[in-house]
Amino acid sequence: MAQDQSPEHVSIRIDPAATLGTISPDFIGFGYEMSALAQPGYFSAKDTALVQLYRNLGAQGLVRIGGDISDHAEYVSEGALTVGTDLTQTVINHAAIADFAGFLKATGWQAMWGLNLGTGTQEKAVEEAVVVDNLLKESLQSFEIGNEVDLRHGYTRPIQNFDDYHAAYLDYKAAIRVALPHAVFSGPDASGNLKFITGFVAAEASDMKLITTHYYRGAAKDLNSTIETLLLSDADWDKRFTELHPGRENPWKVRLQTLQQLCRDHRLGYRINEVNTYVGGGKQGVSDTFASALWCLDFMYMMASYGCEGINLQTDINQHGFISHYSPIVHDASGHCSARPEYYGVLAFAMAGKGELLKVDLNKGAVNLTAYATREGTGSIWLTVINSDLTRDAKVDLALPKGLSSAEGFRLAAPSAASLDHVTFAGAEVSPDGHWLPEAPEKIKSKVGRALVSLPHASGIVLHLGP
């Protein structure tokens, strides 16, 4: 922050009587390419560090196994595990799926599983689905058939439009249902094409679990894919799009509004089941920095405010064969897993992102800042404030809801937005064994029904409000 710049005054008022929606208990999720499963021992109940990294985030969550590689992967019961790319073949086997089932049982999380519609056969998909169902049991949330079906990368079966895709989907679903009459499906797993999404819902609404689609903030190769762009405020984001594309609405906002309406019309839920900062494995020096934690925390709340049932942050090895820079969890050559900056944003959401989402009146002036309030089933009210501004500090003046007179804070912080390490939440880093032990909460100054807190630029805070 410039030395002559005073903190921006920010006022916040929570309306406990105005409920915007309810955050799903399994809102938090991670997404993996099928090739992650082909890494020997990666998903295992014996990997206590990875199990603990999941447990830190709650007893419920959703793992998505699929991605581009699901359309270039083959299940071979006793085959040799092979990690491939979108140009080569990946092989998974019975033991790998069994290990994954044990991992899910150890964490309490469920899985959404993608089947090969691209380069495989219907018979192989049925064989794989039966094994996955038998091994995962109650840990299996649903199947998907094909990945980013609106882009149709490398499909051996000609798919030119939604009708082609839907015909293929129906063939696969029917064959799987012969073997697994109880099988549950989600879809269409589109990259964003609304014709595929609306068409799929119109045809499958009575026989599907969730609407699924993907989102990335931008492309890793784009010169504009910077920390500054990543942390643009919602309003600035819309303004930037309008400047670049005069007369057009932001397609992402249109998609969210369409998804909300589809859910209302058909009594469904939707999930952004593949998402992260910059597509293509992320951008080094941006996607792996503390800025990603701030972006992630804000994005999760923004999606919850649009009625989304959850997100799956794309993680680990990608379709090009390297560990993505945006991964919230990574592993080294020995297989040891550890948390990157983005993980801390998820950790902050796990503390307060549950229960009812409450209306917040925010007057923030010129600072790039967002605020979200939640209420747990116990009645506890939480407020998360994210200062994504790279230069402006904020002085937050919170009007405490009736009956509440105190606040305790847990800060999300790092030396700078560009920091690669020394990231903390609640004063603590995640230990090498995956444990996170928060320090005692910060007592926030309060008087006459108001809480006053300073929030430096590029930082966040989670406040627990009490009597």
Instruction: For residue 277, give the nearest of 216, 227, 208 by alpha carbon.
Output: 216
Find tokens 């680990």 and name the residue. 316
Confidence at 244, pLDDT banded by 50, 70, 90: confident
Amino acid at 265: D
Q: Which of helix, strand or coil describes residue 309? A: coil
pLDDT in tens, 130-186: 999 999 999 999 999 999 999 986 687 788 899 999 999 999 999 999 999 999 999
Unique residue bearing structure tokens 């912080």: 413
pTM: 0.96
Strand 62-66 vs strand 29-33: parallel, antiparallel, or unpaired? parallel
> Do 8-20+355-466 and 26-352 show the same overall fold?
no
Q: What pLDDT, on the 0 to 100 scale, is given for residue 340? A: 98
Domain boundaries, the chain: 8-20+355-466, 26-352
Rg (CA), the chain: 22
Q: How far apart are the C-alpha atoms of 361 and 148, rounded to whole Å?
A: 38
pLDDT at 405 over 70: yes
C-alpha distances in Å from residue 185, one per residue of 162, 244, 365: 17, 38, 46
Query: What secondary structure, in 3-state letters, does 420-456 show?
Result: CCCCEECCECCCCCCCCCCCCCEECEEECCEEEEEEC
What local confidence, expressed as pLDDT, does residue 245 receive? 87
Structure tokens, 398: 């919170």
Give the CATH superfamily of 26-352: Glycosidases (3.20.20.80)
- The fold of the 8-20+355-466 domain, in CATH, is Immunoglobulin-like (2.60.40)
